[in-house]
Amino acid sequence: MGTKTSNDYGRDQNALSFYDDNLWRYKRLMEEALFALEAGIGFKVHSVTSRVKERQSVSDKILRKAYRAPEDELEDIVGLRMVCLYTSDLQKADSVIRNAFDVVSFEDKINDTSEDSFGYMSVHYICQLREENKGPRYDSLQGLKFEVQCRTILMDAWANVSHHLAYKGKNSLPENKKRAFHALAGLFYVADEQFQQLLHTTTDTRPSQQGGHLDRDSVKELLEELYPNREREESDEMHLLSISDFVEEAIAAGYTSLGTLREDLTRFYSQGLEHERAHPPLGEPGEKFFGVGIARATLNIANPTFRANWARGRQAWEEEEEE
């Protein structure tokens, strides 16, 4: 019998028996790899997804890549993708992946300096489960490879856009589209860098640098100063969104600087705490509001406009709930 060619594998359905016979293993591998990856992530990410390639996709790739031994050459039948918020998170993701799996090979398509590198920016890892994962649960998965991709939200968006445009690199682009394509790619790249810079500036900002300006970061520091050791929202994202809402409410009530806000929160501090004792959260005696909650309660006492705006907002919310 002669050696099967890639065309044989693509057209002969029996030649894909390796996929059919091992499909249950691929699904198990996907579950185990996803569990290990998610368990190791200690920072906020946008998403972690997983998939097993469909049979038709396997057949198409064999024909497209002209594989002679696809059962050995296909390393991405099982794939995971981690989409991070910022470029600085990619280094954290690298540590997570290398701690969770044995990395067989690694390809960095982000730091590639070639002209068309942003056409498909991500970091690709070919992995196996760690050797120490042994026993009945893992024995059937030993030796199977899978791919993990890491990218930022904007890299992911660009990958989807360029995929639908069906251009994989600069050489396949018609001349009349190259300039527009690279300009668009550049916009995504610059946006990613600016998001990273914005993260850096917001996390490094302190009130002394802000000159009394009323914004999310200065108010966050003020609340931590006035109401230390209070519980807060479980996620950083929800905590910051809650403070942002409070800033908008304070500005709508006439506060124009951090100083004026501090003045009222300080002057009516004891009245706010008394209100909390008399009307504890959820009616549970001894319970305390989050820092932003006690600040709202205090401004309800200190500022008639804030109180009226808050009452209107609460009424609108209750009417919406009834609908």
pLDDT interval class at 308 (50, 70, 90): very high
Question: What residue spans define the domains of the chain?
Answer: 6-181, 205-322
Has residue 253 got a pLDDT over 90?
yes
* 171: pLDDT strictly greater than 70: no
How far is residue 206's CA from residue 218's CA, in Å, rounded to a whole number? 7
Distance CA 41, CA 150 (A): 13
- Give the model's pLDDT for residue 322: 60
* Confidence band of 10 (pLDDT split at 50, 70, 90): very low
| pLDDT higher at 236 or 164 | 236
pLDDT of amino acid 209: 41
Residue-level pLDDT at 78: 97
74-119 pLDDT tens trace:
999 999 999 999 888 898 999 999 999 999 999 988 776 455 554 5
pLDDT tens-digit map of 182-209: 777 778 888 888 888 887 766 555 444 4
| Confidence at residue 257, expressed as pLDDT on a 0 to 100 scale | 92
211, pLDDT greater than 50: no
pLDDT at position 237: 85
pLDDT, mean of residues 146-154: 94
pLDDT in tens, 29-69: 999 999 999 999 988 899 999 999 999 999 988 888 888 88
pTM: 0.60
Summarised one tens digit per residue, pLDDT across range 268-288 is 998 999 999 999 988 888 889
Considering only residues 130 and 5, tell me which one the structure prediction assigns the higher pLDDT: 130
Please work out, in degrees rounded to the nearest 5, the angle formed at the alpha carbon of residue 307 by the alpha carbons of 305 and 311.
115
Fold exhibited by the domain 6-181: Beta Polymerase; domain 2 (3.30.460)
3-state DSSP of the chain: CCCCCHHHHHHCHHHHHHHHHHHHHHHHHHHHHHHHHHHHCCCCCCEEEEEECCHHHHHHHHHHHCCCCHHHHCCCCEEEEEEECCCCHHHHHHHHHHHHEEEEEEEECCCCCCCCHHHHCCEEEEEEECCCCCCCCCHHHCCCCEEEEEEEHHHHHHHHHHHHHCCCCHHHCCHHHHHHHHHHHHHHHHHHHHHHHHHHHHHHCCHHHCCCCCCHHHHHHHHHHHCCCCCCCCCHHHHHHHHHHHHHHHHHCCCCCHHHHHHHHHHCHHHHHHHHHHCCHHHCCCCCCCHHHHHHHHHHHHCHHHHHHHHHHHHHHHHHHHC
